[in-house]
Structure formats: C-alpha cells, structure tokens
A and B are shown apart, each in its own frame.
Chain A
Amino acid sequence: MQGKEQIYKGLAASKGISIGKPFLYRAEVPNYNMDIAATGSVSVEKEISDYTQAIEQSIKELKKIFALAKEKLDDKHLQIFDAQLSFLYDNFFHSKVRSGIEENKKPAYEIFKDEIKLLENAILASGDDYMRERVNDVEDMKNRVLRNLLKGRLVSKITENAIVIAKNLTPADTILFSNRNMLGIATDLGGINSHVAIISRSLNIPAVVAMRDVSFRINQEDILIIDGYKGLLISNPTEETIQSYERQIEKNKEFEKKLEELEKLPSETKDGKSIRLSTNLEFNNEVDYVVSHFGCDVGLYRTEHLFLEIGDFPDEEEQYKQYKFLAEHLYPGKVTIRTFDIGGDKILPDAQKESNPFLGWRGIRISLDKKDDFLTQLRAILRASTGGNVKIMFPMISGVEEVTQIIELLNEAKARLRTDKLRFDENIEIGIMIEVPSAAIVAGDLAQMVDFFSIGTNDLVQYTLAVDRDSSLVCELYEKFHPAVLRMLNIVIQGADKHNIPVTVCGEMASDPYASLLLIGLGVSELSVEAASYLQIKRLIRLVNYEEAGKIAKKVLQMNTIKKIKDYVEQCFNKNIGEKLKSYDI
C-alpha cells in the first residue's frame, strides 16, 4: 500500500520517539494568481465580504492563541499578540482596504498587501531601529490575514496526535500546536537553538530540525517515525522497523521511571571521585522541578530571555527581581548567572546588520560597549547575591584586556552599591566562558584573573572548526571529537589547573555520554547539563572509573583523526560502561 522505507536525517533538537501520521503545515502563502486570472473579473461585493470574513477568522484564531499564550507565557510575551489583535480591530484601516477594493476593482488580497506595504515602508523609514523591529509584528498579522483570505490551510485544523511537518514554525504556530498533543515536530529549517527546538524540549516532545526539504517529500498518507535521539525521520517504515521502535519506546518508558531512583544518589565515579553535576536553566518555571527533583546547583543561568522578551535591556529592578527569585529558590544551591549573551543568532535592535554575526558584535563585546546597561545588570546580580550563593559569568571572552575591563566595571558597580548602602556578597565569585579559541589558548593567563572557567563547547567547537552548526550544509563537519577540539579543551583545563581554579563544561558536549567520559578523563570538575539529561549523565558518572577515564583521555590526545578517536572512545566505552548502560539497570 505504501512506498519504500525512507530515512531522512536532520539535527536532533529534542529527544524522544513517536510513531504517527504527519500533519503537513504550510504557512507560506500559495500563489493564487493563476486561479484568480482564470475566474476573470473581480466581484467587488464578494471580495469585500471575503475580506471581512478573513479578518473575523484571523481575530478568532489570534484570540485562541492569545488565550493559550496567557496560560503559558507572562505579560511581556503577551503584548506582541495583543498588539497584533489591535491591528485586526483597526476599522479605519479596514475601511481603507474596502474603498480600495471598490475603487480599483482588484481582489482583496492585493489591496490588503498594498496597504500593509505602505505601513511597513512608513515604519522602516523611521530612523529608529526599535521601530523597525516592529515590522515583524506586522508581518505575522499580514501572513495570517492573507492565509485566511486565500483560504490556505488553517492552523486550527491541525489533527490531534500527529507529527507536525513544516518548513519552519513561528512562535505563534508552535504555541498553538502545543495544545494539540503533537507527537513531534520536523522542520526543514531551524537550528538546535531555534524557537521550535526550545519549545519542543520544554514540552518534552521529539523534534528534528534542519531537514532541508523534507516538508516537500512527506505525503499525507505516510506513516512516520520521528527519532529525536538520532535526528531521524523515517517514512513508510517496514514492519520490522516499527517493531524495533515500539520496543524502544516501551523500554524508554520503563527506563525513565527507573532513572528517578538516581535522584538521591551522589554524583561520583565508581572509584569515589566526586564530579559536580548541575543544570543549565533559562526559564523560571523550570526552577521548581530542578529544586525538588535534583536539588543541584544551576551551572548556567541564561539571561538573554529577559532581553528578548521586551526587546530592550530590562531595568535594574526587573532584573533584580528575577535573579533574587532564582537565588532564593535554589538556596542553598548555587546559581551561576551569565550576563547577556545577545547578538549572534539573537537579534539586537541597535545592531547594524553584520554579514558574520557570530564573528561580530555579541556577548561581552556588546556589554563593554554599552557600559550603562552592563553596570545595570551587574548591580542587579550583585544585589541578588546577599545569600552568598550567586556567581557571575561573562560570555564570549577573547582575551585578557576584556577581563581587566570587566573587573574594573564590576568594582565600579560594587562601589556604587556601597554608596547607595545596598548589600551584596563581597566575596562573589566571577568566572568566564571559554568558547573562543583565543581565550582557550591564553587560558593560563586568564585563570589568574578569575575564580572559575566554564567551557561553552557549542561555540568553542564551532569557532575552532569554522563550522556553523546551524547551517544544514556544513553541520556534519561540526565534530566535537575532532583532535583539535580535544586538545583545545586540554589547554584550557591545564591552564586552569596551573592556578587551581575549577572548570565546568556547560555546552551540549556535557550531555553526550561518550564525550562526558572524555571530559571527566581530561579533568573537568563540573558538568552542567540540560535538566532533561541530568539523570542520564549522573548515571554515566556513576559508571565511570576516574583513573581509567584519565588514561583514555591521555591516549586520545595523541590521536590525529576523528575516526581514530571515535573508534577508540567507543571501544573503551563499550568495554567499561556500554553493557551496563544498555542493560537498563540503574
């Protein structure tokens, strides 16, 4: 009845396995010009009534999204949908479109598009970058109305329990889908940090992104398996494949239950070496889960979302509230707050468009240029540190000069707080992210200036190998087991050891079992992983023999190809740990 089994490969963005039917979602507006030409002249009356209906339908859809978003997001997020709604309620605008249809005898969608274009041009003509950003608000609304005008596929018609296949998904789409018991998401575009990926992880559904043109290849009748562990989408699987995946789903369920036993056990190797294990955190609603289940430190708290929610630097009180909330809820656990790491893939309104954003104005470079905003953030973090459980970390460091400047500014922030008679932890620890190769190479010098290092492996690998992992064309070259990457890590750890400061790894490498075996062997003192991988990695740590891991790492540093390293690590892994890991016994 069906075609041959086909396997499509993408980037694994969120773990899990599902089997089900596809829901093909095509947000882009189809080209209706041909149909319209065929029907001949335009009926003004019909166009106007179509337009009215499309607006009503759009309002209905957006209200639904708004109500959903209200449950899941806070006020700041809501404003964007609220504004879109008020565009749709703009009767002045609608009457302009209606009279445009009457005067020009053109179809509603053409007049609507022209009117929106005028608006976009006016906004773009404004010298203000913030205003220009607002064009995005209009864009989402425009697409929704056009989709309804052209009777394209409606989002609300999504079938329950389906695997969503799309070219790309907007935040609004993803939130709406989230209420529909999606089985998984596979998209042509997107990286592992795209909005879809982040939401999928928090909804705990499998997602695979960067699948190139998969949305054109999947048919409505296909049966699909989505494998969010390996980043695969399998269409028309054989009976054999289905059974093997069904077994795996069953096992995963049992296994996840068993994993909970690990919550109470210490994070130490088989031979008793303690490896600190903490989690990365971005949203406040994850805090309770982390505290009640793991009771661990937060090794990386990302603050960018505070910026992205309002599209500007939040004020001191707002930030202080957030940081204080974290510090109090995690106490006596510690939290490492990383200052804004914006730019790069995230958008900064003030930024000029750069042809190489990852090599451009981002992270600490922005903070050091916008000193007032940086001081505001430092003050807010310092004020939240009174419990003695807060550390500060700085992203995108490339050399000693930056750290000197940071320390000066930090001292200035402290001095101002003393003048204002505001309390803070006088002994607050500061650390830097090592994610730029130049910083890695001078790690020995940097280690004299700070209290800890945290290696951001995602960026370090990407910068070391000159590979953009979000580019679906080259992402296969992104390889954490490259000999240069491992030697780079070794330089950092040795530099830190020389001055006795601890090294954390907070990138995805820490969540990979093979890689974390090597990281432990190289002498990393702490792993900070996504909450979803926490127990898995604790389990791994408890299976590792520390002394042996050290020997493995030493040997790997002598190897000169990816293949040799991978084969060797796999072999050691299977010998010492693999069987146990496979056995599903805790």
Chain B
Amino acid sequence: MIMRKVTIVNKAGMHTRPASMLVRIASKYKSDFYIIKSGFQINGKSIIGVMTLAAEQGSEVTLKFDGEDEEKAATEVIKFFEDGFGEL
C-alpha cells in the first residue's frame, strides 16, 4: 500500500473537469485508489465521490493506492496532482 499527502494547487480546485480526468487515469489501473480528506475517505475511481470532496485550492488530501500495480498508479496520479491538473 502507498500513501501520499498532496496539495490542490490549481486555482479552481477539484472541479468537474479534473475530477473526471482523475477518475479516468485511476481507472486504468487495477489497484484500489482512495482519497482521504479531513477524515473522509472516498473511492477515487468514482467521479461522484471525488466531487463530494469539494477540494478547493490549498486543501490537503491523502492519496491511498493498494494493489498489484500501485506504484505505477501512484506515479501517474501524483504527477497529475502536482501539475495542478494541467491548469497551471
């Protein structure tokens, strides 16, 4: 299992477009993917789950990957967060 803390850096936060891209990326991998924010854990492969996080710019979330290809999944997803969902 891999856990990593990341910060939402883009201006608009986790809105619909990045949420749907995130789900698409995560769904390519077999590993389970969860996002934890202020104690809540949601399934990162569910866009509706990701949207309920309502993560704004500056909020910190923890990403959790668990499964056979967790390393590959973690690399790509973390990069997506660090790049501000391509909105920087």
Which of A90, A118, A123 counts the most chain B CB atoms within 10 A? Answer: A90
User: A91: which B residues are within 8 A, CB to CB?
Assistant: 45-46
Q: How far is the CA of A312 from the CA of B52 in the complex (A)?
A: 21
Q: How far is the CA of A127 from the CA of B56 in the complex (A)?
A: 8
User: A130: which B residues are within 8 A, CB to CB?
Assistant: 12-13, 15
User: A134: which B residues are within 8 A, CB to CB?
Assistant: 15-16, 51
Main secondary structure of the interface of B (DSSP, over half): helix
* Interface membership of A87, Cβ < 8 A: yes
Q: Is the CB of A93 within 8 A of B49?
A: yes
User: A123: which B residues are within 8 A, CB to CB?
Assistant: 51-52, 54
Q: Is the CB of A126 within 8 A of B54?
A: yes
* Interface membership of B20, Cβ < 8 A: yes
* Interface membership of B47, Cβ < 8 A: yes
The B-contacting residues of A in range 91-133, CB under 8 angstroms, are 91-93, 118-119, 122-123, 125-128, 130-131
Q: Is the CB of A128 within 8 A of B13?
A: yes
The B-contacting residues of A in range 327-382, CB under 8 angstroms, are none
Digitize B12-38: 1 where CB-to-A-CB distance is under 8 Å, 0 elsewhere.
110111011001100000000000000
Q: How far is the CA of A134 from the CA of B51 in the complex (A)?
A: 9
User: A93: which B residues are within 8 A, CB to CB?
Assistant: 46-49
Q: Which residue of B lies closest to A127 (CB)?
A: B56
Q: Is the CB of B49 within 8 A of A92?
A: yes
* Interface membership of A285, Cβ < 8 A: no
Q: Is the CB of A92 within 8 A of B43?
A: yes
Of A78-86, A442-450, A489-497, which binds chain B?
A78-86
Main secondary structure of the interface of A (DSSP, over half): helix
Q: Which residue of A lies closest to B43 (CB)?
A: A92
* Interface membership of A213, Cβ < 8 A: no
* Interface membership of A137, Cβ < 8 A: yes
Q: Which residue of B lies closest to A93 (CB)?
A: B48
- Size category of the A interface is 20 to 34
Digitize B45-86: 1 where CB-to-A-CB distance is under 8 Å, 0 elsewhere.
111110111101000000000000000000000000000000
Q: Is the CB of A131 within 8 A of B54?
A: yes
Q: Which residue of A lies closest to B53 (CB)?
A: A122
Q: How far is the CA of A127 from the CA of B16 in the complex (A)?
A: 16
Q: How far is the CA of A123 from the CA of B54 in the complex (A)?
A: 6
Q: How far is the CA of A131 from the CA of B18 in the complex (A)?
A: 12
Q: Is the CB of A128 within 8 A of B54?
A: yes
Shortest CB–CB separation between residue B36 and chain A, in angstroms?
A: 15
User: B17: which A residues are within 8 A, CB to CB?
Assistant: 79, 82-83
Q: Is the CB of B54 within 8 A of A87?
A: no
Q: How far is the CA of A123 from the CA of B50 in the complex (A)?
A: 10
Q: Which residue of A lies closest to B46 (CB)?
A: A92
Q: Is the CB of B23 within 8 A of A86?
A: yes
Q: How far is the CA of A119 from the CA of B51 in the complex (A)?
A: 8
Shortest CB–CB separation between residue B82 and chain A, in angstroms?
A: 20
Q: How far is the CA of A125 from the CA of B19 in the complex (A)?
A: 17
User: B46: which A residues are within 8 A, CB to CB?
Assistant: 90-93
Q: How far is the CA of A451 from the CA of B13 in the complex (A)?
A: 42
Q: Is the CB of A122 within 8 A of B51?
A: yes
Q: How far is the CA of A126 from the CA of B13 in the complex (A)?
A: 11
Q: How far is the CA of A127 from the CA of B59 in the complex (A)?
A: 12
Q: Is the CB of A82 within 8 A of B20?
A: yes
Q: How far is the CA of A90 from the CA of B52 in the complex (A)?
A: 13
Shortest CB–CB separation between residue A73 and chain B, in angstroms?
A: 15
User: A118: which B residues are within 8 A, CB to CB?
Assistant: 52
Which of A82, A91, A126, A312 counts the most chain B CB atoms within 10 A? Answer: A126
Q: How far is the CA of A350 from the CA of B48 in the complex (A)?
A: 24
Q: Is the CB of A90 within 8 A of B48?
A: yes
Q: Is the CB of B52 within 8 A of A119?
A: yes
Q: Which residue of B lies closest to A124 (CB)?
A: B54
Q: How far is the CA of A137 from the CA of B51 in the complex (A)?
A: 11
Q: Which residue of B lies closest to A312 (CB)?
A: B12
User: B23: which A residues are within 8 A, CB to CB?
Assistant: 86, 90
Q: Is the CB of B54 within 8 A of A125?
A: yes
Q: Which of A79, A90, A128 is in CB contact (< 8 Å) with B47?
A: A90
User: A90: which B residues are within 8 A, CB to CB?
Assistant: 23, 46-49
Q: Which of B11, B15, B48 is in CB contact (< 8 Å) with A87?
A: B48
Q: How far is the CA of A89 from the CA of B16 in the complex (A)?
A: 14
User: B12: which A residues are within 8 A, CB to CB?
Assistant: 130, 312
User: A82: which B residues are within 8 A, CB to CB?
Assistant: 17, 20
User: B47: which A residues are within 8 A, CB to CB?
Assistant: 83, 86-87, 89-90, 93
Q: How far is the CA of A138 from the CA of B54 in the complex (A)?
A: 14
Q: How far is the CA of A131 from the CA of B12 in the complex (A)?
A: 8
Q: Is the CB of B13 within 8 A of A122?
A: no
Q: Is the CB of B48 within 8 A of A119?
A: yes
User: B49: which A residues are within 8 A, CB to CB?
Assistant: 90, 92-93
**Chain A to chain B contacts (Cβ below 8 Å), 26 pairs:** A83-B47, A86-B23, A86-B24, A86-B47, A89-B47, A90-B49, A91-B45, A91-B46, A92-B48, A92-B49, A93-B47, A93-B49, A118-B52, A119-B51, A122-B51, A122-B53, A123-B52, A123-B54, A127-B56, A128-B13, A128-B54, A130-B13, A130-B15, A131-B15, A134-B16, A312-B12
Q: Which 7 A-B pairs have the closest CB atoms?
A: A126-B54, A92-B46, A122-B52, A86-B20, A83-B16, A93-B48, A128-B56
Q: A122-B52, A122-B54, A128-B56 are in contact. List 12 more A-B contacts (CB 8 A).
A: A86-B20, A86-B24, A91-B45, A91-B46, A92-B45, A119-B48, A123-B52, A127-B56, A130-B12, A130-B13, A134-B51, A312-B11
